[in-house]
Structure 1
């Protein structure tokens, strides 16, 4: 099995994470708006606000961040016969606010939420569902078996701890949780989290290797790493239930910032999502080769 391990340094405090990043199981459905680069909270944006018209410069920036829409998928033969568990983050319908899940470190948090949204109201849970279906198709065409933590983008889904338990009980060779961020305008790019401060049942080395492989494949596809969280696209975390409870090689990908117009244009685009799905599939194949 291919193993490329990188020392992943936690470079931002968990407080900044809570303000700037989509977190699995947060009680709020939308993340707070943060100022560019610093991640300092400047107030929450309403998902019903009208999206301003993009300027020419913003549209050009979006094109620069798109990757290559017609990228040919590389060698995915290592995926044949493998099982991949995909977790499309959040759910179409959020559960009651008082329903909780264990967080894996002695506390509890919300069972699940519908996630963040663009300023115009396009929800994260729909983005994660759409890209999960594209990734599923690519993986299955390469001969992999694909499992999903939810069946649609309409109904409630399992709480975040139940998702982890089902992943652990499966024959999955790797688990990828798909998300998008809700930060401030000017905060752009993707970042990938693997477990930090690992617990006894975690697989920290394998998870770090998986994060590095997927990061490398996304960079090779022309996708920019985050300019506001983590280092070179890697941002290990210890506050995510899905990572805390995992006994599999597992990562969580924040594909971009839904509150930034340049990132949003790519997340809303079927071609933009396809480039990202292809890169994740390539990273999984590289990890498993």
Structure 2
């Protein structure tokens, strides 16, 4: 009995010492999400978004949204909208697509007391001009972009224009090409979701909020609900099969997580998040 008691005492002492030596559990930093206004696009020929010509004679007004995420003391932008040069540009009803910008990202950040220098990361869903337009206003930030898109930008393939991303492509700023899914902060709160097809390295973004729950941002996996619901593929997507697989993954992931699913270009989804300057938390 004495041996058993001695062994039990020793084991308890070891456990106590281990508990003292173990570092305390780190709480996940508070996460907030703001929806920013990053432009609007008048689409005068909606068949521009359908390789099966599903929308004959239709037009539509789309939004160009981007997002600010606060993770503790870190700030991240997701997409950077239309170029600042389109500020105040009038729209027309003759061009296939007519973009305009009402407010810059920098001006909106100033409203909530955030400076460009505080942005530590810029995540880009894909390389199209309406998603990278104002990125160069944050040259100190790490750029996160799908590897397929990064490779295309570096090579200057096709109609890909790297000039809006000059700080990272040629300017020496920190560039992180992303393959597959990426846990941005290492705690599961913000994850880039691999959804190729629209472009080679296209991604969406999953943000987990304490009160709101998961929010799944689409990038351009689809441009409006009818696109997503009907497996509509724009003719300018780089890979049709990947596009269909990514739409399927986006739908199933959103359903499994019971996420707030935001199609970034669809104005009907604007009200799913609080109106700026309020944040979802």
Q: TM-score, with normalisation over the residues of structure 2?
A: 0.29
Which entry has the higher C-alpha Rg, 1 or 2? 2
Q: Structure with the greater relative contact order (CA < 8 A, sep ≥ 6): 1 or 2?
A: 1
Bigger share in strand = 2
Q: TM-score, with normalisation over the residues of structure 1?
A: 0.29
